[in-house]
Amino acid sequence: MAYQDPQDRSTAGTTPATGWSMDHQWLPFTPNRHFREVPRVFVKADGMHFTTHDGRQVLDGISSLWCVGAGHNRREINEAIKQQLDTLDYATAFNASNDKAFMAADKIAAMAPGDLNKVLFCNSGSEAADTAMKVALAYHRARGQGHRNVFIGRERGYHGVGFGGMSIGGIPANRKVYGTALLPRVDHMRFIHDPLNHAYIHNAEPEWQEDPLLELENRILPLHDPSNVAAIIVEPVAGSAGWYIGPKGYLKRLREICDKHGILLVFDEVITGFGRMGKNFAADYFGVVPDMLNFAKCVTNGVQPLGGVICRDHIYETMVNPDAPNHVADLFHGYTYSGHPVSCAAAVATLQLFEQEKLFDRAGQMGKVLGDAMHSQLKGLPHVMGIRSLGLAAAVELAPAAGAPGKRAYDAFLDCFTHGVLVRSAGDNLVFAPPYIVTESQIDQMVSTLAAAIKRLA
Ligand SMILES: Cc1ncc(COP(=O)(O)O)c(C=O)c1O
């Protein structure tokens, strides 16, 4: 089928004037048949806005999948990429490297808390998850504990789509049809949401009466024996599930449990890293230093693919053996594009820009505005059963339609798009996570457009 203007069904089957068809691209995580009926194609972006194929302006309420913290089309980042292309376009990553990769690693390590000092680059959050899992196995083996091969994730966690990340992830739909390929030695902690007592979370961590980690201590760890566990991997805030916020003290207690049993703690900060929480990392926000910290997305403002795992010194020092022979690699893992010079040049420029414009502080300030708008404008609307805000992100949860979970939020997403606002639907949640440059009036536009969409659903 050729591209069809949603307003004009008479063009079905024709080739679009723009020179592209809709016949060959298979979109990920997308209902493709319906997409072809109602296409949403971006052709341009600047600041907070996209321009669509049919010439409409759409406000980017989700930083384009949590990536574009500094907003679109930033001259400083574009220039750095162009310059890099003219200087060193690509260089092999094995047994050699490039200057921009070292510069990016210096900057990232300087921003990371504690002794998270060694950066292992990859190209995406999925690769970061698999990389961290492989480092965990290699690290334990290097110190004579190769039996530690159990991984623990959390229900409704998201760590990308590689076999490792999918296995420790806990979003049922992402696992459902791949069951036989999931890694066997993986367990999941219970989810961190209490819909009865803490449905509404307004820019503060909820205080639970019960301890959600008792189940880890009393059931999961004894079942596998803690001495067999390689790592526990969590998102500090559960992003892809729909911005779910754990109870106060949760991550500190998780840190203590890991320390007690020699288990590595990995934070997946692909969403929360580089400013979303108003700090460098969620690790800073919650005051907990993990053993490894995964990042991607905002590190290059989404403009070039780049991900990575920041490791604490003790991991690197265990792996990089001073007595090893000169010709043997420390870690038999890496990607052709690990530390790609163009991506790393984009990262250096992005991190400079974040700093110059104090955009993480701004994210913290605008997060309060977003939280206030969500709670004041959406609470009490039809189907609304919870609202959660923290950092510069917020979600409203709708009651699922009978027999069609996810439909209400998807319909609200389409409605918002039609009215010029990009919101993310995740299950029956609608999530906003705008670029840090968002203004108060744009937040008002986002939330009032969503409020109108929810009312129209009723
Ligand atoms: C926490 C987390 N980990 C990993 C990923 C996967 O990243 P990517 O899509 O770059 O592979 C995501 C993507 O949203 C994520 O939110």
Contact 166, 240 (CB under 8 A): no
- Separation CA 35–CA 388 (nearest Å): 29
Q: What is the mean pLDDT of residues 309-326?
A: 94
* Domain identity same for 230 and 286: yes
80-134 residue pLDDT tens: 999 999 999 999 999 999 999 999 999 999 999 999 999 999 999 999 999 999 9
Domain membership flag for residue 13: no
* Domain identity same for 145 and 243: yes
CA of 324 to the centre of ligand 1 (A): 35
* Domain identity same for 279 and 428: no
CA of 209 to the centre of ligand 1 (A): 31
Contact 169, 181 (CB under 8 A): no
In the chain, the number of structural domains is 2
Domain membership flag for residue 21: no
Domain membership flag for residue 31: no
Domain membership flag for residue 178: yes
Residue 157: both structure tokens together? 């966690």
Domain membership flag for residue 425: yes
CA of 129 to the centre of ligand 1 (A): 8
Report residue 345's pLDDT band, with 50, 70 and 90 as the boundaries: very high
CA of 305 to the centre of ligand 1 (A): 12
CA of 154 to the centre of ligand 1 (A): 15
Averaged pLDDT of the chain: 95
Burial 221-234 (b: 16+ CB within 10 A, else e): beebebebbbbbbb
Q: Is the CB of 169 under 6 A from ligand 1?
A: no
| Percent of the chain whose pLDDT exceeds 90 | 94
Q: What is the mean pLDDT of residues 284-302?
A: 98
* Domain identity same for 81 and 60: no
Note if the pTM is more than 0.75. Answer: yes
Q: Locate the ligand 1 atom nearest the alpha carbon of residue 296 and give its number.
A: 10
Looking up tokens 């301890």 gives 211
Q: Locate the ligand 1 atom nearest the alpha carbon of residue 124 and give its number.
A: 10
Domain extent for 154: 75-356
Q: Locate the ligand 1 atom nearest the alpha carbon of residue 240 and give its number.
A: 16
What type of residue is 283? A
* Domain identity same for 117 and 171: yes
* Domain identity same for 58 and 165: no
Report residue 11's pLDDT band, with 50, 70 and 90 as the boundaries: very low
Report residue 388's pLDDT band, with 50, 70 and 90 as the boundaries: very high
Report residue 167's pLDDT band, with 50, 70 and 90 as the boundaries: very high
For residue 52, what are the β-bridge partners? 42
Residue 45: give its domain's CATH number. Answer: 3.90.1150.10
Q: Given ligand 1 and candidates 64, 233, 240, 429, which is best to mutate, with the most ligand atoms within 8 Å of its CB?
A: 240
Domain membership flag for residue 15: no
Lowest mean pLDDT among 16-25, 99-108, 271-280, 327-336: 16-25
Burial 323-355 (b: 16+ CB within 10 A, else e): eeeeeeeeeeeebebbbbbbbbbbbbbbbebbe
Task: Please check the confidence at residue 1 and state whether its pLDDT lies above 60.
Answer: no
Give the pLDDT of residue 360. Answer: 98
CA 221 to chain centre: 27
Domain end call among 356, 387, 405: 356
Domain membership flag for residue 24: no
* Domain identity same for 195 and 237: yes
Residue 278: give its domain's CATH number. Answer: 3.40.640.10
- Separation CA 400–CA 406 (nearest Å): 6
Strand spans (E) along 136-235: 150-154, 186-189, 200-202, 229-234
Contact 132, 264 (CB under 8 A): no
* Domain identity same for 57 and 112: no
Q: What is the mean pLDDT of residues 174-187?
A: 93
CA of 382 to the centre of ligand 1 (A): 31
* Domain identity same for 402 and 296: no
CA-wise closest residue to 251 among 235, 264, 272, 240: 235
Domain end call among 356, 381, 404: 356
Burial 131-152 (b: 16+ CB within 10 A, else e): bbbbbbebbbbbeeeeebbbbb
Give the pLDDT of residue 16. Answer: 52
Q: Is the CB of 170 under 6 A from ligand 1?
A: no
Give the pLDDT of residue 458. Answer: 78
Contact 266, 233 (CB under 8 A): yes
Give the pLDDT of residue 187. Answer: 98
* Domain identity same for 414 and 324: no
Task: Please check the confidence at residue 37 and state whether its pLDDT lies above 90.
Answer: yes
Domain membership flag for residue 199: yes
* Domain identity same for 295 and 397: no
CA of 172 to the centre of ligand 1 (A): 16
CA-wise closest residue to 189 among 166, 164, 168: 168
Q: Is the CB of 166 under 6 A from ligand 1?
A: no
More confident residue, 14 or 423: 423
Domain end call among 340, 356, 372: 356
* Domain identity same for 131 and 253: yes
